[in-house]
Amino acid sequence: MACSMASLPIGYTNAAAEQTSHEFRKNYPLQIALDAMGKSFQDSVTHLNVTQHVNKGESPDKAVVTIEESELLDDSVAAEKTVFTMNYRDGKWQIMNRIQTQQCRPNRGHQNFSNQPCH
């Protein structure tokens, strides 16, 4: 196997293996959450903090992905947080709940993350 791999041209990639790897990765909780953010996600580049917590064990079946955007180009909203709760069912991760909250700029409303609008 090593000999045949060594004889491959430089820059050669195994497209089938890459496609399989991509298909597998797109079912990760993190990727599902990022995809669910929509096409306009990060149109204006912001500070981004993304965390993924998956329950431990050989067969994890619960995950929480948190996506927090800060330094937004908005006069009243300082940051937005989206929390996805997922379960692993029927061979794939599924979003069970999505909660969006925001944090207001000083003197524009609440300073903690809340679903209440800023003003």
Q: Binning pLDDT at 50, 70 and 90, where does residue 108 land?
A: very high
Kindly give, in sequence order, each residue whose CB lies less than 8 Å from that of residue 101, ignoring residues fewer than 6 positions away. Answer: 80, 81, 82, 83, 113, 114, 115
Q: Look up residue 33 and give its amino acid.
A: A
Mean pLDDT of 80-101: 96
The tens digit of pLDDT for each residue in 24-75 reads 456 899 999 999 999 989 888 889 999 999 998 788 999 999 999 999 999 9
Distance between CA 97 and CA 79 in Å, rounded? 20
Is residue 20 predicted with pLDDT exceeding 60?
no
pLDDT band at 23 (very low <50, low <70, confident <90, very high): low
Kindly state the percentage of the chain with pLDDT values over 90: 67
Which is higher by pLDDT, 11 or 105?
105
pTM given for the model: 0.76
Least confident of 10-19, 71-80, 89-98: 10-19
